[in-house]
Amino acid sequence: MIMLFENLDERTRPFIRAEVELDITNAKLYISKRLSENGGKDYVNLLKEAITSYDEAWFAQQLSLNGRINLTEERKKQGGYTTVKIPETAAETLAEGEFNRFYIRGLCLRALDEGISDLEVYRAKPVINPRPNSQAKIGTKVKAEKLLEDLRVNLGIDTALGLPNGPNSGLSVKLS
């Protein structure tokens, strides 16, 4: 399902791009282990294209093509490792999560550029069974500067401020 990014527009996109470039320059861009060799090679260009001209749904579609996602992965099990099938939703989960993180970072930059100190948490994607801690965050305000710093430092899933609140939470932020 497509996420509704309320401030994904031509004003915000350059700020998102700047955040991607910052991670690339600092060699901090998150590259999922679920990407195949081919997926790893294509990932950066697909991410840049998605944030410049498209959205997370396009990004997910591109990641799901041409064998860009591995079919299996190794999982640590008591006494060793086992090979498990990667979920069919892996491309969507990766694309939504990373696109949303960069969207939030870019929107934080835009807000600071426009003298706006707070952003509002909202549900950008409907979910069937919302997590109680996600529901509690909807409508709350977060400091753009603190959120930006948190997302820059805490790469991957967990952040100190709990936004975007894990994979598939559907939460994002908007200008308030």
Report the b/e string of 40-69 with b at 16+ CB within 10 A: eebbeebbeebbeeebbbbbbebbbeeebb
Q: pLDDT tens-digit profile of 69-94?
A: 999 999 888 888 999 999 999 999 99
Q: Would you call 171 helix, strand, or coil by DSSP? A: strand
End-to-end CA distance of the chain: 24
* Nearest by Cα to 15 from 142, 116, 133: 116
pLDDT at residue 157, rounded to an integer:
60
Helix (H), strand (E) at residue 7: none
Sequence spans of domains, the chain: 13-175
Q: pLDDT tens-digit profile of 103-136?
A: 999 999 999 999 999 999 999 999 888 888 889 9
Q: Which residue has the tokens 């994607």?
A: 125
| Reported pTM | 0.91
Q: How far is residue 19 from each of residues 25, 28, 78, 105, measured CA to CA in Å?
A: 10, 11, 39, 7
Q: How far is residue 28 from each of residues 31, 81, 118, 128, 164, measured CA to CA in Å?
A: 9, 28, 26, 33, 18
Q: pLDDT tens-digit profile of 15-74?
A: 999 999 999 999 999 999 999 999 999 999 999 999 999 999 999 999 999 999 999 999
